[in-house]
Amino acid sequence: MSVRVSERRRSVRVLAAYPTVLTDERGRTLARGRTANISEHGLFVVVSGRVPSPAGGSVVARISVPATAERGSNTRTVIYDCRIVRRQALGQLLGLGVEFRKKLA
């Protein structure tokens, strides 16, 4: 017998391990890590150490993603204004659920 559970998320999440830097609004680095998964509305990033709580939970996420073949570069950086919506202890690591608010670049 199998149990079916409905999905609570707004969009499908895709496994992805992209280098990510979280900064505050002034550009100071709060954490460096890698995405665990990403969706249209946010991402889950795994970082080492503690992450200070920024004012209002607002952070800027700089994500290095694979570039298209036409660009000639291996990666490109996308930048989002985000808010931290969840924190999860993962042993020595910390998982952060981040919701995209606005694409900056």
3-state secondary structure of 20: strand
Domain total for the chain? 1
Report pLDDT for 74. 86
The domain that contains 81 carries what CATH number? Answer: 2.40.10.220
Domain range for 36: 14-103
| pLDDT tens digits, 64-86 | 998 876 656 688 999 999 999 99
Query: Concatenated DSSP letters for 27-46?
Result: S-EEEEEEEEEE-SSEEEEE
Measured CA to CA, the distance from residue 17 to residue 38 in angstroms comes to 9
Give a yes or no: residue 3 inside a domain: no
Give a yes or no: residue 99 inside a domain: yes
| Cβ-based neighbour number of residue 105 at 10 Å | 8
| pLDDT tens digits, 15-27 | 999 999 999 988 9
Instruction: Tell me the average pLDDT of the chain.
Output: 87
Whole-structure pTM over 0.85, yes or no?
no
Give a yes or no: residue 79 inside a domain: yes
Give a yes or no: residue 83 inside a domain: yes
Give a yes or no: residue 9 inside a domain: no
Give a yes or no: residue 38 inside a domain: yes
Residues 31-56 have a mean pLDDT of 90
Query: Concatenated DSSP letters for 51-92?
Result: ----GGGEEEEEEEEEPPGGG-SSEEEEEEEEEEEEEEEETT
Give a yes or no: residue 42 inside a domain: yes
**Beta strand 19-23 with 14-15: parallel, antiparallel or unpaired?**
unpaired
